[in-house]
Amino acid sequence: MIEAAVLFAVFEGAQAAVKGIKQAVALGKEVRDVYRDLSTFFNAQGQIEVAYQKSQAGVPVEEDGRTATQKALDIVFMRREMIQMEVELRETLIYGFNESGLYDEMCKERAKIIEAEQEAIREARRNKQKLEEQTRRKAEKKKEVIFAVIGGVIAAAIFFGTIWMFTQGGKW
């Protein structure tokens, strides 16, 4: 989990980015002039969303003196605020910069990237399972060969022992 101080700094950076974008609209700037602020916001949103997803998955968080309730409140509050700020940004892009397609295009691209990342994770898991299965099969095959060799040695010993015993006529 991301450290609490870093998470707060990221959240504050996102708030500053939204404020900067709104100021750019008021100053009549172009959307390309706020690329860094947009990037900062969406980067922060991604980090906060990852922290939220980890908390939902039960990933242990670092010990920083805060209670579990404080940690939960912080992450849920930040996530809700980020969702609200994204709505504000979308509206700012549409109405302030007259860029209705930019937000939709970005969301579609983000969805493609997320799907590609998730597919890569699934593929890595499949490859890991495949490798583990191959390793398990090799170990089983190795055991079978060892047992076959030991069985063969024992059978040969019994066979040759029996022949030796009959050729000796019971004399040692």
Residue 64 lies in a domain: yes
Residue 135 lies in a domain: no
Range(s) of the domain holding residue 11: 4-98
Residue 15 lies in a domain: yes
Residue 127 lies in a domain: no
pLDDT in tens, 29-44: 888 888 898 888 888 8
- Range in 31-40, 59-68, 112-121, 124-133 with the lowest mean pLDDT: 59-68
Residue 170 lies in a domain: no
| Residue 26 Cα distances to 20, 69, 95, 129, angstroms | 10, 39, 12, 55
Which residue type does 128 have? K
Q: Please give the pLDDT value at position 61.
A: 62
State how many domains the chain has. Answer: 1
Residue 19 lies in a domain: yes
10 Å CB burial of residue 54 (0-12, 13-18, 19+) is middle
Residue with tokens 């060799």: 149
Residues 148, 34: Cα–Cα separation, whole Å: 72
Residue 114 lies in a domain: no
Q: Is 172 helix (H, G, I), strand (E, B) or coil?
A: coil
Residue bearing the bigger pLDDT, 27 or 145: 145
pTM: 0.61
pLDDT in tens, 135-163: 999 999 999 999 999 999 999 999 998 88
Residue 143 lies in a domain: no
Residues 75, 88: Cα–Cα separation, whole Å: 20
